[in-house]
């Protein structure tokens, strides 16, 4: 069976009196692979379980293939789900687990046996059919769970963090296997995960959830390169945050700040194809710049590359990640993590250079406390004394607080 479309409209779900999902709207095309991504407690599993029928819907509408399913019990929704714990039945062997859904559909025994053989071959479990599932390894159990879900030829496959219990190497393989099976069978699939790499590598589109609301829906490239909000940017890895002043003019962005020498002109990118600063909202004034550790570079010389925002700072420590050194760089009140291929000694003065294409500008968010950022204070507290690093950046002059006001437009 080919995949069916799903339409979720204005969905509200509560656990008792506690509302968990608020006004979720989502349309999934037939055969599409959607990843629900978010931090713990954001409601992604709740959304999946509401879709499967395990949680009653407080308000809203769920349609599958044009039919409303919101009030149907789980057994009549015709969706196959893979659980995080695999949820295999310990009193049955692998083949019985895989064939149970077919038994429920009253298939004749011979057909069930044939279908089970097919599924066993599909997921590569030959020779283990008669083994009790309690005596299988994690990866094998996962395959049984996948085969069990696929055996009934479901139009919709729901995946509740099915790979999180596997070790890293098997997980990589299973991502590709699940994805290629889904494409080959044409199923509509919805994956819940908190692993953004997993979501990006498997999904056609990603849905980022933030405390029960959809923060952004888009292709992995869109969500990664052009996050709509500071929350999405932080969740997708742009955890370094720095307050700047922004002026927009002539298709460019002019950025200034206490540790920026003068006003830096950067190109503005209106779409994914252009290279430039991503600035989804706001026309200027105080904003927060967000960037990823791996997108920025450290420059020790006075010659700074073009179309980069340079922040003067000082290395405080570094750790080795294998391919790069991750440096902790102090810029005024802020601590950034920046990757660099060479190790730079602590206390060296460096410029943190962020290419325009890696810079995201957002309006300051008053609720920024819940951003998944390791730097709890993205805004500067009033500078109480002369800051040597800032003094370096300003050419030896100690900055007079608050410096932001000095360099604003008017």
Contact 30, 2 (CB under 8 A): yes
SS3 200: helix
Cis ω before 402 (30° cut-off from 0): yes
Return the number of the residue (76 or 184) whose C-beta is nearest another protein: 76
CA distances from 37 to 175, 196, 345 (A): 15, 7, 37
The DSSP code for 1 is: -
79 or 123: CB nearest another protein: 79
Could you tell me the smallest distance in angstroms from the CB atom of residue 248 to another protein? Answer: 51
Phi and psi at residue 229, to the nearest 5° = -130, 165
User: Least distance from C-beta 160 to another protein, angstroms?
Assistant: 9
Closest approach of another protein to the CB of residue 170, in Å: 21
**From CA 211, how far away is CA 224, in angstroms rounded?**
20
Residue pair 311/298 in contact (Cβ under 8 Å)? The answer is: no
Instruction: Give the nearest distance from C-beta 134 to another protein in angstroms.
Output: 11
Cβ-contact 13, 57 below 8 angstroms: yes
Q: Are 151 and 98 in contact (CB under 8 A)?
A: yes
Nearer to another protein, 78 or 403 (CB): 78
Q: Which is nearer to another protein, 83 or 268 (CB)?
A: 83
* Cβ closest to another protein, residue 70 vs residue 101: 101
Find the shortest distance in angstroms from Cβ 94 to another protein: 14
CB of 62 to another protein, least distance (A): 15
Minimal distance, residue 249 CB to another protein, in Å: 57
Rg (CA), the chain: 26
| Distance in angstroms (rounded) separating the CA atoms of residues 222 and 77 | 32
Closest distance to another protein from the beta carbon of 86 (Å): 8
The residue to which tokens 């206490």 are assigned: 258
**C-alpha triplet 189, 190, 194: angle, nearest 5°:** 140
DSSP-assigned letter for residue 140: H
The contact set with another protein (CB under 8 A) reads 52-54, 73-81, 83-85, 87-91, 100-101, 104-105, 148, 152
Question: Is 289 in contact with 242 (CB distance < 8 Å)?
Answer: yes
DSSP-derived letter for residue 400 is P
Question: Is the separation of the CB atoms in 30 and 3 below 8 Å?
Answer: yes
Nearer to another protein by Cβ, of 79 and 277: the residue is 79
Nearer to another protein, 90 or 262 (CB): 90
Please say which residue, 191 or 289, places its beta carbon nearer to another protein.
Answer: 191
Which CB atom, from 105 or from 111, has the smaller least distance to another protein?
Answer: 105
Residue 151 or 311 having the CB closest to another protein: 151
Minimum gap (Å) between residue 91 Cβ and another protein: 4
In the structure encoding, which two tokens stand for residue 294, read together?
A: 């791996």
Residues 329 and 314 sit within 8 Å (Cβ to Cβ)? yes
> Taking the complex as a whole, how short is the minimal distance between the CB of residue 139 and another protein, in angstroms?
18
Residues contacting 154, CB < 8 A, separation 6+: 1, 78, 79, 80, 187
């Amino acid at each position: 069976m080919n995949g069916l479309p799903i339409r979720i409209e204005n969905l509200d779900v509560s656990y008792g009196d506690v509302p968990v999902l608020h006004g979720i709207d989502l349309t999934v095309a037939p055969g599409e692979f959607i990843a629900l991504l978010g931090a713990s407690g954001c409601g992604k599993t709740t959304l999946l379980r509401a879709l499967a029928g395990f949680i009653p819907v407080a308000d809203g509408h769920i349609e599958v293939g044009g039919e409303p399913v919101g009030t149907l019990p789980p057994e009549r929704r015709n969706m196959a789900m893979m659980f995080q714990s695999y949820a295999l039945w310990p009193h049955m062997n692998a083949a019985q687990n895989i064939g149970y859904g077919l038994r429920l559909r009253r298939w004749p025994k011979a057909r069930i046996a044939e279908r089970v053989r097919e599924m066993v071959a599909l997921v590569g479990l030959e020779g283990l059919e008669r083994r009790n599932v309690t005596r299988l390894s994690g990866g094998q159990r996962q395959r049984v769970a996948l085969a069990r879900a696929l055996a009934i030829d479901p139009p919709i496959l729901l995946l509740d963090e099915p790979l999180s219990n596997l070790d890293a190497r098997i997980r990589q393989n299973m991502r590709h296997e699940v994805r290629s099976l889904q494409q080959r069978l044409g199923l509509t699939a919805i994956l819940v995960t908190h692993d953004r790499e997993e979501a990006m590598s498997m999904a056609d589109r990603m849905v980022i959830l933030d405390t029960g609301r959809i923060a952004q829906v888009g292709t992995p490239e869109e969500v990664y390169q052009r996050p709509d909000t500071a929350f999405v940017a932080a969740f997708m890895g742009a955890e370094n945050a720095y307050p700047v002043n922004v002026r927009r003019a002539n298709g460019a962005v002019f950025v200034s700040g206490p540790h920026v020498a003068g006003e830096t002109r950067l190109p503005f990118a209106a779409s994914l194809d252009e290279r430039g600063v991503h600035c989804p909202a706001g026309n200027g004034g105080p904003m927060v710049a967000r960037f990823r550790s791996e997108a920025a570079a450290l420059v020790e010389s006075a010659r700074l590359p073009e179309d980069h925002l340079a922040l003067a700072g000082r290395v405080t420590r570094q750790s080795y990640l294998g391919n790069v050194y991750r440096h902790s760089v102090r810029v005024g009140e802020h601590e950034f993590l920046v990757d660099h291929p060479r190790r730079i000694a602590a206390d060296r003065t460096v410029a943190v250079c962020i290419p325009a294409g890696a810079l995201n500008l957002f309006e300051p968010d008053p609720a920024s406390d819940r951003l998944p950022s390791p730097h709890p204070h993205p805004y500067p507290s009033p500078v109480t004394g002369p800051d040597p690093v800032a003094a370096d950046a300003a050419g030896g002059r100690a900055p007079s607080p608050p410096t932001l006001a000095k360099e604003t437009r008017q």
